[in-house]
Amino acid sequence: MKHVLAIRHVPFEDLGTFECMFDEWGYRVEYVDAPTSELSGLDVLGPDLLAVLGGPIGAYEEDNYPFLISELALIKQRLASKRALLGICLGAQMIARAGGARVFAGPTKEIGWGPVALTGAGACSALAPLARGAPVLHWHGDTFDLPTGAVCLASTAAYTQQAFSIGTQVLGLQFHLEACATELESWLVGHAVELAHAGISLQSLRANIPSSDIPRLVLQTWIASVVFD
């Protein structure tokens, strides 16, 4: 049975709809909670896929969150192995930093449902189903430069780097394609202070949840492109 290891930073930001797909496709999903787990001995080379998930902290805040040092070291190991690696939001930023890129505060908070603009490379990638403007969930205030060997796949007006790939094995998504409508209320509670500070309407977030098969198409296409050992 193929094995997905997911590094999680807060309980409600999990694999979302992706987890149901992995279950359906016969993958065993295992979570490791980065803030409270012993990361130094974690085997990140054995799983078929390593997923690094989102969270409300910065990839550069190791002074406040020392576990990030161990986590970055693990991601560097996985990158060097050239095995399948998926990063979502903070996870994508952590991959970028592990790949030698700068991660830093963005120009504004970008929170809510909206489209991304695909680059030429993005239009030929697993993200192609997003080309017609399908909305995804944006929930970030940081951005990053592209890591070594990466190709930008998508952008928005406020954030140039919205998705990137490194070969066929690494996919980084700044946005939350995995966001699950049934779990959105946990996000609204968990990020209540941030949402209030940013003046984001909870009603708008609830009302604009898209219904489509695009997350499935994207994940399925990317997984099909990955070379598993």
Evaluate whether residue 211 is within a structural domain.
Answer: yes
The 3-state secondary structure of 113-128, one letter per residue: EECCEECHHHHCCCCH
Per-residue confidence (pLDDT) for residue 166, from 0 to 100: 98
Evaluate whether residue 229 is within a structural domain.
Answer: no
What is the Cβ-side half-sphere exposure of residue 214, based on CA atoms within 13 angstroms? 19
Q: What CATH number is attached to the domain comprising 201?
A: 3.40.50.880
Tens-of-pLDDT digits for all 229 residues of the chain? 899 999 999 999 999 999 999 999 999 999 999 999 999 889 999 999 999 999 999 999 999 999 999 999 999 999 999 999 999 999 999 999 999 999 999 999 999 999 999 999 999 999 999 998 999 999 999 999 999 999 999 999 999 999 999 999 999 999 999 998 888 999 999 999 999 999 999 999 998 888 889 999 999 999 999 988 7
Q: Which domain holds residue 43?
A: 2-224
**How far apart are the C-alpha atoms of 88 and 103, rounded to whole Å?**
14
pTM of the model: 0.97
Contact at 8 Å (CB) between 127 and 154? yes
Q: ∠ CA 58-138-154 to the nearest 5 degrees?
A: 95
Per-residue confidence (pLDDT) for residue 182, from 0 to 100: 84
pLDDT in tens, 100-128: 999 999 999 999 999 999 999 999 999 99
Evaluate whether residue 213 is within a structural domain.
Answer: yes
pLDDT in tens, 21-54: 999 999 999 999 999 999 988 999 999 999 999 9
Evaluate whether residue 145 is within a structural domain.
Answer: yes
DSSP 130: G
Evaluate whether residue 171 is within a structural domain.
Answer: yes
**Overall number of domains in the chain:** 1
Evaluate whether residue 87 is within a structural domain.
Answer: yes
